[in-house]
């Protein structure tokens, strides 16, 4: 599977859509309440748009070169590329993150950042070795890598001074699954409310073009994890509706088939994880 040349449009992206939507709301309110404010608001839109466009324009060619090089490495190592995502990369994990997903039972997928194995879902599984001729992959869970994601999308840099976008909300304690000596272990993290859901959702979206998971399944899992984390029914549904309608517009339809690779590394069971 080949990947298209990356363009990363300066104009057609969520940052501009977000700023445009906010501007239209303000113009509508001005037209209703204070018509004299319409002209100043239009002039104010110029520096606002520049604040969104400049961080994307400065260094754009180098970022695109690095993204294409990363996709080429994936193609050479795994035989497929992942989907491109611009960022910004605000959050990271340096250990595997696990979740039991019974709806993915009987599905298998192995990649640099996402592993799906008969209901086990793991983000950032660790260093890997792939033999495409033999169709085998091996992971070293004790040699973790660092996986970065942006939280709930979109996140828009504004003049390098601030990040505007979908909030991840307040920090709270989450009980999550990780790995200790190759065993699934529950432990506490102190993360923003939406972090576990956005982490899993971002990793699934990164491989929606090749992983055996349909877009609507990833979106429903996102909704369920937001509710599990304590987000209210209405805001969780708004977040779900946003990704359902606007997320991954290039990937629709049924899920791809399971991976042709075989994992030779013993994987942990999630039926009775040990506790820290």
- Name the band, by pLDDT with cuts 50, 70 and 90, for residue 274: very low
In 61-154, beta strands by DSSP E:
91-93, 97-100, 108-110, 114-117, 120-123, 127-131, 136-140, 147-149
Once rounded to an integer, what is the mean pLDDT over residues 112-123?
96
Residue 266, judged by CB atoms within 10 A of its CB (0-12, 13-18, 19+), counts as: exposed
Domain locations in the chain as residue ranges: 85-275
Tell me the two tokens of residue 153. 């999308």
What per-residue confidence (pLDDT) applies to 219? 97
- Name the band, by pLDDT with cuts 50, 70 and 90, for residue 271: low
> Is 0.85 surpassed by the pTM of this model?
yes
pLDDT tens-digit map of 204-220: 999 999 999 999 999 99
- Name the band, by pLDDT with cuts 50, 70 and 90, for residue 182: confident
What per-residue confidence (pLDDT) applies to 14? 73
Q: Which residues contact 185 (CB under 8 A, 6 or more apart)?
A: 177, 178, 179, 273, 274, 275, 276
pLDDT tens-digit map of 24-33: 898 899 899 8
- Name the band, by pLDDT with cuts 50, 70 and 90, for residue 272: very low
Answer whether residue 76 shows pLDDT above 90: yes
- Name the band, by pLDDT with cuts 50, 70 and 90, for residue 227: very high
Once rounded to an integer, what is the mean pLDDT over residues 10-38?
84
What is the average pLDDT score of the chain?
90
What per-residue confidence (pLDDT) applies to 241? 96
Answer whether residue 174 shows pLDDT above 90: yes
Q: How far is the C-alpha of 142 from the C-alpha of 235, rounded, in Å?
A: 38
Once rounded to an integer, what is the mean pLDDT over residues 108-136?
96
- Cβ distance 229 to 174 under 8 Å? yes
């Amino acid at each position: 599977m080949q990947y298209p040349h990356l363009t990363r449009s300066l104009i057609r992206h969520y940052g501009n859509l977000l700023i445009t939507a906010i501007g239209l709301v303000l113009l509508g309110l001005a037209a209703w309440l204070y018509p004299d404010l319409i002209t100043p608001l239009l002039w104010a839109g110029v520096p606002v748009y520049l604040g969104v466009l400049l961080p994307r324009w400065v260094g754009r060619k180098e970022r695109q070169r690095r993204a294409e090089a990363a996709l080429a490495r994936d193609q050479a190592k795994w035989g497929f590329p992942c989907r491109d995502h611009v960022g910004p990369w605000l959050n990271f994990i340096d250990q595997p993150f696990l979740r039991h997903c019974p709806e993915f039972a009987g599905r298998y997928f192995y990649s640099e950042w996402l592993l799906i194995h008969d209901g086990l879902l793991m983000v950032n599984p660790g260093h890997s070795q792939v033999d495409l001729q033999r169709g085998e992959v091996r992971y070293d869970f004790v040699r973790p890598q660092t996986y970065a994601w942006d939280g709930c999308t979109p996140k828009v840099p504004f003049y390098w001074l601030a990040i505007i976008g979908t909030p991840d909300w307040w920090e709270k304690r989450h009980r999550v699954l990780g790995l200790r000596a190759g065993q699934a272990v529950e432990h506490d993290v102190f993360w923003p409310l939406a972090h576990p859901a956005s982490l899993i959702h971002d990793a699934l979206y990164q491989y929606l073009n090749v992983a055996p998971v349909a877009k609507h399944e990833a979106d429903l899992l996102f909704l369920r994890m937001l509710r599990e984390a304590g987000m209210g029914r209405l805001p969780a549904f708004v977040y779900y509706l946003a990704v359902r309608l606007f997320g991954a517009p290039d990937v629709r339809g049924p899920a791809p088939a399971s991976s042709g690779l075989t994992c030779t590394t013993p994987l942990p069971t999630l039926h009775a994880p040990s506790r820290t």
